[in-house]
Amino acid sequence: MKTNFLILIFLVKFFLVSAQASKNKDLVEVKIDSILNLMTLDEKIGQMNQYNGFWDATGPNPEGGEQLKKYESLKKGLVGSMLNVRGVDEISAIQKIAVNETRLGIPLIFANDVIHGYKTLSPIPLAESASWDLKEIENSARIAALESSAAGTNWTFAPMVDISRDPRWGRVMEGAGEDTYLASLIAKARIKGFQGDDLSKHNTVAATAKHFAAYGFSESGRDYNTVDIGDNTLNNVIYPPFISSVDAGVATVMTGFNDLDGIPVTGNSELIKGTLRNKWSFEGVVISDWGSIREMIPHGYAKNADNAAELAIKAGTDIDMESNIYVRKLKKLIIDDIIDEKLIDDSVKKILRLKFDLGLFEDPFKYLNKEREKEILNSPELQNAVLQMAKKSIVLLKNSDNLLPLKKEDLKIALIGPLANDKNSPLGNWRTNSDNNTAVSVLEGMVKYIGNEIIYEKGADLILNPGGIVKFSEKIIINENDKSGFDSAKIAASKSDIAIVVIGEDGFQSGEGRSRSKIDIPGVQLDLLKEIYKVNNKVVLILMNGRPLDLSWADENIPAILETWQLGSQTGNAIAQVLYGDYNPSGKLTMSFPRNTGQIPVYYNHKSTGRPGPKKVVFWSHFNDVSNTPLYPFGYGLSYTSFKYSNLKIDKKFLNANQVINVSILLENTGELKGREVVQLYIKDKFGSITRPVRELKGFKLVDLEPGEKTQVNFKISEPMLKFYNAEKNWESELGVFEIFIGPDSNADLKETFELIQ
């Protein structure tokens, strides 16, 4: 018996290795079937079980003391993949158990949340999206793949492609903003960057489009909250970035925590099987979110753990991340004839296929090279790449009297604010693999520009957590009262030519579980800004934040405002280059900034309503105490130079399905500095079988111009660009009149009209 068993192991291992050598798809399928035939039911279910590592957690621990039994489960082949295991040493140790100590030696996949870099951090994704630079964004994901794969990671839980219109939701920092068209392109760029052209290379990682679906529309922006939206928003706004991810060949899709129209998405068969698999032909792996199978019980949908397992597997969720339910319950469901073993086989095949695609059968240790890890992590090339991305992510919101850029000499600067010399907050949230306090602070970045005298004063603390550091899951204690540092900050400002005030959110005020009911500048910081302004009105406000904030007072009073988000490792260097004009800011907002929290949601592609106004009488859709418009609209961002738009031309007034309209404008750099403009094209469908947005982004071009230089910027409009999910529940265009707008932001006012005809 024992001898037979050993032979079996030998044969299987031999077989697995030789199977990997082949890139032939059909052959791989044959091998997958053969492996499946050798697997016990327990081993198959094990492949569908994902455990968190033993060192860290990004969510609540599973129930039942199972954490302690993880090593045992590993050895029995009851684990298929792991998350939050980091670095070549730790991963090698666990991979060795899987390969050498389990019966079949099937390698594990190691996943991590590589959201904006691994050790070397690029800007948070919301910031990157403000660059509108798809190449740079792709490169940023490439850098993250290079670094994380060198540390043994094979799979990242990114990109998050959830659209959100609610800055109260902490996870807007992880997305690409409010617009579905731009977010779809960014999703594609990120996936390409992560996955490259061959997943089996040791320096590419499998990507995950998450969280399917509609997680970003939680009521009131409270994380994990109910989502209740109609078919129209789902199809026209939320789905396109997922469709674009599937088209880009994303390897995996993650479900969300939310329910959608009453059904938790992790157990929603219509969504996963009906839409993702059948309609969009997604063939990859679907993974639950952390514990989201189990969470169907408190949702009041699954009656117990058995029922949760049944609902999730029937819906098409292949991997259970940390619910610990598949591994405990699926077998019994099969024995009791509640589910068909074929469902398990289908999921396991997909998981094995992913392991083949990643090249793990060929060499389970191919990502695990100590030398490479040492050479690549934090290398100067990576730091330089994230610096390029960081500069392009900054948005200039205001610049009265050309206060910026700063002179490099003969300028006395007071640098003030709790974030001015902070090396931690600018790293942002979702940086589980990086080290604390590793960002270049603004002070450090500016000091490099010798010539200017800089007086630094903190002014106040932003947070009161011990050591000024917040952990991933820890509550933040905001300083709401202590202003004892204000006086020295005021003295510094009054003695200086200019005051640069660096304030905003702590790096952990956005991200998962970090919703805010008010999106103001937190704590005593706004008071600090006001006090500084009283003694020196030449103030440059540098904001660091993970979401749009209410900046109404600052916009009214402060002459220069730079939105720098959380820019990652190279924060201070990027900001210094922009402050001194070595990089002319070119970012444009990808989320509207409200005038106050009560305006939320405020977004550019809203519907018109039956009473759009403005009217003299009160009976139109508006607030009595604030305008309908945002403070800064989607697409908005200034430059140190100025651009003139003129001469909007279209070459035909009628379009049919076989034609293209050529559209052009003349763009001129009318200022004195070289600069980059993001030229934006919006289209309005005047009437539809369902109400249509007031305008929608349909194209953009990044144009670099020298001072005085002019260029014609061209776009093409064709019928597929006019399609939407209509009253017939079809994705199609409808005949009629359309308006085109081209300009520097979503208020673009150069306008033309055309008609779509038969």
Nearest to 342 by CA among 334, 353, 354: 334
φ/ψ of residue 67, rounded to 5: -50, -45
Quick one: which of 46, 53, 59, 417 contacts ligand BGC (CB under 6 A)? 59
Distance (Å, rounded) from C-alpha 506 to C-alpha 425? 5
CA separation, residue 73 to residues 119, 287, 515 (Å): 30, 20, 36
Q: Give whichever of 59 and 699 is closer to ligand BGC, judged by the CB atom.
A: 59
Closest separation in Å from C-beta 113 to ligand BGC = 5
Candidate list 118, 290, 700, 715; residue touching ligand BGC; CB under 6 A? 290
Q: Please list every residue from 228 through 267 that binds ligand BGC, using CB under 6 A.
A: none
Select which of 113, 289, 461, 550 is catalytic. Answer: 289
Rounded distance, CA 719 to CA 187, Å? 23
Minimum distance between the CB of residue 83 and ligand BGC, rounded to whole angstroms? 6
For residues 429-439, one letter each, b for 16 or more C-beta atoms within 10 angstroms of the residue's C-beta and e for the rest, the string is bbbbbbeeebb
In angstroms, what is the minimal distance from the CB of 256 to ligand BGC?
Answer: 7
Considering only CA atoms, which of 689, 678, 698 is closest in space to residue 739?
698
Close Cβ partners of 637 (under 8 Å, ≥ 6 residues apart) = 130, 395, 396, 397, 585, 586, 587, 588, 589, 678, 745
Best CA proximity match to 62, nearest among 403, 344, 293? 293
113 binds ligand BGC (CB under 6 A): yes
The smaller minimum CB distance to ligand BGC, of residues 82 and 756, is found at 82
Per DSSP (E only), the strands in 293-402 are: 320-321, 395-399
The smaller minimum CB distance to ligand BGC, of residues 113 and 178, is found at 113
Alpha-carbon span 45 to 50, nearest angstrom: 10
Tokens read off for 409 = 């000499």
Long-range contacts of 24-30 (CB under 8 A, 24+ apart): 28/353, 28/356
Name every residue whose Cβ is closer than 8 Å to that of residue 419 and which is 6 or more positions away in sequence: 425, 426, 442, 462, 502, 503, 504, 542, 544
Say if residues 514 and 496 touch (Cβ distance below 8 Å).
no
Q: What is the per-residue binding string for ligand BGC in 200-219, x denoting contact by CB under 6 A?
A: ----------x---------
Q: Which of 288, 254, 327 is nearest to 74 (CA)?
A: 327
CB 462 to ligand BGC: min, Å: 25
* CA–CA separation, 154 and 207 (whole Å): 9
Per CB under 6 A, 58 contacts ligand BGC? yes
| Closer Cβ to ligand BGC, 113 or 531, answer by number | 113
Site track for ligand BGC across 655-694, x = CB under 6 A: ----------------------------------------
Q: What are the phi and psi torsion angles at 755 (to 5°)?
A: -125, 135
Residue 110 near ligand BGC by CB under 6 A: no
- Residue 136 as a binder of ligand BGC (CB under 6 A): the answer is no
Q: Nearer to ligand BGC by C-beta: 82 or 558? A: 82
Size of the site for ligand BGC (CB under 6 A): 9
Q: Which of 51, 132, 155, 157 binds ligand BGC (CB under 6 A)?
A: 157
What part of residues 504-533 is at the interface with ligand BGC (CB under 6 A)?
512
Q: How far is the CB of 512 from ligand BGC (least distance, A)?
A: 5
What is the DSSP-derived secondary structure letter of residue 61? P
In the bound complex, what is the minimum distance in angstroms from residue 320's beta carbon to ligand BGC? 13
Whichever of 51 and 715 has its CB closer to ligand BGC, that residue is 51
Give the burial string for 294-310 (b: 16+ CB within 10 Å, else e). Answer: bbbbebebbeebbbbbb
Per CB under 6 A, the list member of 128, 289, 318, 422 interacting with ligand BGC is: 289
Q: How far is the CB of 160 from ligand BGC (least distance, A)?
A: 7
When the beta carbons of 163 and 578 are compared against ligand BGC, the nearer one is 163
388 lies in the site for ligand BGC, by CB under 6 A: no
To the query of whether residue 289 is one of the catalytic residues in this protein, the response is: yes
Select 226 or 379, whichever has its Cβ closest to ligand BGC. Answer: 226
CA atoms within 13 A on the CB side of 233: 19
- What is the footprint of ligand BGC within residues 567-626 (CB under 6 A)? none
Residue 649 phi/psi, 5° resolution? Answer: -130, 145
What distance in Å separates the CA atoms of residue 511 and residue 610, rounded to the nearest whole number? 36
CB of 162 to ligand BGC, least distance (A): 10
The least CB distance from residue 565 to ligand BGC, in Å, is 19
Question: Which strands form 696-705's sheet, in the order they lie side by side?
Answer: 654-655, 750-756, 736-743, 675-685, 696-705
Nearest to 623 by CA among 651, 595, 662, 645: 595
For residue 323, the minimal CB distance to ligand BGC (Å) is: 12
The catalytic residues are 289
Q: In the complex, which residues of this chain contact ligand BGC (CB under 6 A)?
A: 58-59, 83, 113, 157, 210, 289-290, 512
